[in-house]
Amino acid sequence: DTDILGGNNAGFATVAVLTGVDTRETILAARTAERPTYIINSLTDLHRPYPAVDHADGAHRCGASTARVSGETIHISGSEDDLDSWRAACAAWWTAVPDAARPTQPKLEWRNH
């Protein structure tokens, strides 16, 4: 988290690599200052195109996955094993909670497709 915090404070794009101590859940819940620009599974993903996350009609979409926030719940259409589902969920939650001074853990409702 300190690497992401430092990079964000310096104005750099930051990346969370899921080979470290953070999990998809802790990244999702991160306070605003510690939210990464990119989320990847491993360092080899640095050499791959990063998927776009689009926002339209109250939903965030990444690949085949979508996420919407309702109150304290993120409704996710996608697989828990698919990183695109988590990217969509993070984008949706971070849009709904843009100024989190401390970690905020939403409830996750999965609709696997």
DSSP letter assigned to residue 69: E
Given a cut of 70, the residues of the chain with pLDDT beneath it are: 1, 113
pLDDT for res 112: 85
Query: Residue 61: which H helix or E strand, with range?
Result: strand 59-62
Give pTM, 2 decimals: 0.95
pLDDT for res 20: 83
Report domain extents, the chain: 2-45+53-111
Nearest to 89 by CA among 101, 57, 99, 70: 70
pLDDT for res 1: 63
pLDDT for res 85: 99
Q: Which residues lie closer than 8 Å to 71 by C-beta, 6 or more apart?
A: none
pLDDT for res 24: 98
